[in-house]
């Protein structure tokens, strides 16, 4: 730790304190938060966080690396993307030490998307970053890494300039065949999202296309370990906004979802009514799904409405054993602000299944 002692002795003295991460982040943001140019000071953030990681304090190291990632995101503007691959790689290392294999893989793929944009879709194995971790630690083939990098770069040609600032948006444009890991017991309830990206999508609800709500719903669901999400699937009889598959869970309430479930997105200026709920129920019934999520910006019609969707939500479970959870704008706002989606789904699920008073 000679380098950190020499360059930032005031930080080194904090590292062995019980509240090191909180104090470090405050100090780093105060003194090492200048604009990220060629002479960027973010090396100091890395040295401090690596000390914590090397001393088996992965949660604290993750907090510091995550603060760095968010700091770089906020320093970006629509016309100026800043490379974020390094903190994403180190975030993955933190999750690997915590034995969160799904999280570790996801953040390496986000780093790959960042590198792809930086290098115009090229991959350089000799650089000790994304490539050796994906190939050596996670088993991706050389051809897969190169293909994903190329596709990630190509996918940005049709993206809005603001969306290209977020590797999460780029990763959403790719398939998820790279995700072969199943969640460990330790990460079963772990949930982390990029709240800045989620806020970017939330602020675009009501644009008339419905795509922002679909993207937000897909992103929030995909960050739940073990949930594989596909958008816009079509059949001869209906269109699915989101199709979700649960993998590796048989220990909590999610085991009752079944292998597959469907999500419907309604970015409407008015509440979803009885007709929407009844139609969604038929979709779930036709797929033999026991669970579904209705993302509705303005919720569903309640008592006093001529189209009483809340009552239908309860009757669907009582008559057919299907639980439909409704997530409205307030729920999305909570998740975007950092609330754990898994805990929110558990509460909503139990409210419908047990007919609890909200």
Angle (nearest 5°) at CA 180 between 179 and 183: 90
Q: How many alpha carbons lie under 13 Å from residue 162 in its C-beta half-sphere?
A: 9
Q: For the residues 211-215, what does the mean pLDDT come to?
A: 95
Q: Check pLDDT > 80 for residue 206.
A: yes
Is 3.40.1350 the CATH number for 202-353?
yes
Q: Give the pLDDT score at 346.
A: 94
Q: For the residues 237-244, what does the mean pLDDT come to?
A: 86
Rounded CA-CA distance 87/264 in Å is 34
Of the candidates 355, 342, 343, 279, the residue with the CA atom closest to the CA atom of residue 315? 355
Q: Give the pLDDT score at 38.
A: 47
Rounded CA-CA distance 28/45 in Å is 7
Q: Give residue-wise pLDDT tens across range 334-356.
A: 999 999 999 999 999 999 988 87
Q: For the residues 318-324, what does the mean pLDDT come to?
A: 91
Q: CB under 8 Å, gap of 24 or more: what pairs does 74-83 form?
A: 74/196, 75/35, 75/36, 76/165, 78/161, 78/162, 78/165, 79/161, 81/117, 81/164, 81/165, 82/36, 83/114, 83/118
255 pLDDT tier (thresholds 50, 70, 90): confident
Q: Check pLDDT > 90 for residue 251.
A: no
117 pLDDT tier (thresholds 50, 70, 90): very high
Rounded CA-CA distance 346/253 in Å is 7
Domain ranges of the chain: 2-184, 202-353
Rounded CA-CA distance 88/129 in Å is 10
Q: Check pLDDT > 50 for residue 145.
A: yes
Per-chain mean pLDDT for the chain:
90
With contact defined as beta carbons under 8 Å apart, do 312 and 324 qualify?
Answer: no
311 pLDDT tier (thresholds 50, 70, 90): confident
Q: Give residue-wise pLDDT tens across range 8-51.
A: 888 888 988 889 999 999 998 888 876 555 446 688 899 899 99
Q: Check pLDDT > 70 for residue 148.
A: yes
What are the tokens at 128?
Answer: 């000790």
Q: Check pLDDT > 70 for residue 209.
A: yes
Q: Which helix (H) or strand (E) holds 245?
A: strand 239-246
Determine what percent of the chain is predicted with pLDDT higher than 90. Answer: 65
The total of other beta-carbon atoms located within 10 Å of residue 56's CB is 10
Q: Could you tell me the pTM of the whole model?
A: 0.93
Count of residues making up the chain: 358
Q: Give the pLDDT score at 16.
A: 83
Determine what percent of the chain is predicted with pLDDT higher than 70. Answer: 93
Q: For the residues 88-95, what does the mean pLDDT come to?
A: 97
């Amino acid at each position: 730790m000679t380098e950190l002692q020499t360059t930032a002795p005031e930080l080194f003295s904090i590292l062995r304190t019980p509240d090191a991460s909180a104090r470090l982040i405050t100090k780093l943001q105060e003194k090492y938060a200048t604009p990220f140019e060629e002479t960027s000071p973010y090396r100091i953030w890395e040295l401090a966080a690596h000390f914590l990681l090397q001393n088996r304090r992965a949660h604290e190291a993750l907090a510091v690396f995550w603060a760095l990632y968010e700091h770089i995101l906020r320093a970006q503007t629509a016309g100026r993307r800043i490379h974020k691959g390094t903190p994403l790689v180190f975030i993955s290392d933190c999750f690997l030490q915590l034995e969160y294999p799904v999280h570790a893989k996801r953040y390496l793929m986000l780093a790959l998307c960042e590198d792809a944009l930086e290098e115009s879709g090229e991959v350089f194995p000799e650089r000790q970053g994304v490539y050796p971790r994906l190939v050596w630690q996670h088993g991706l083939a050389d051809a897969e890494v190169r293909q994903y990098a190329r596709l990630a770069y190509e996918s940005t040609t049709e993206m809005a300039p603001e969306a290209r600032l977020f590797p999460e948006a780029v990763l959403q444009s790719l398939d998820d065949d790279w995700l072969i890991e199943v969640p460990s017991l330790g990460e079963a309830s772990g949930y982390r999202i990029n709240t800045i990206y989620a806020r970017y999508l939330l602020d675009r609800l009501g644009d008339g296309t419905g795509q922002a709500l679909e993207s937000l719903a897909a992103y929030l669901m995909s960050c739940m370990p073990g949930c594989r999400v596909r958008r816009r699937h079509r059949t001869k009889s209906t269109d699915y906004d989101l199709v979700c598959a649960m993998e590796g869970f048989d220990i909590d309430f999610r085991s009752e979802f079944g292998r597959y479930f469907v999500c419907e997105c309604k970015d409407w200026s008015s509440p979803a009514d009885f007709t929407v709920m009844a139609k969604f129920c038929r979709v779930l019934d036709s797929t033999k799904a026991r669970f579904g999520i209705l993302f509705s910006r303005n919720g569903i019609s309640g008592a006093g409405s001529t189209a009483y969707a809340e009552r239908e939500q309860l009757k669907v479970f009582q008559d057919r054993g299907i639980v439909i959870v409704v997530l409205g704008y307030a729920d999305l706002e909570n998740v975007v602000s950092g609330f754990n989606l898994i805990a929110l789904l558990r509460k909503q699920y139990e409210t419908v299944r047990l007919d609890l008073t909200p």
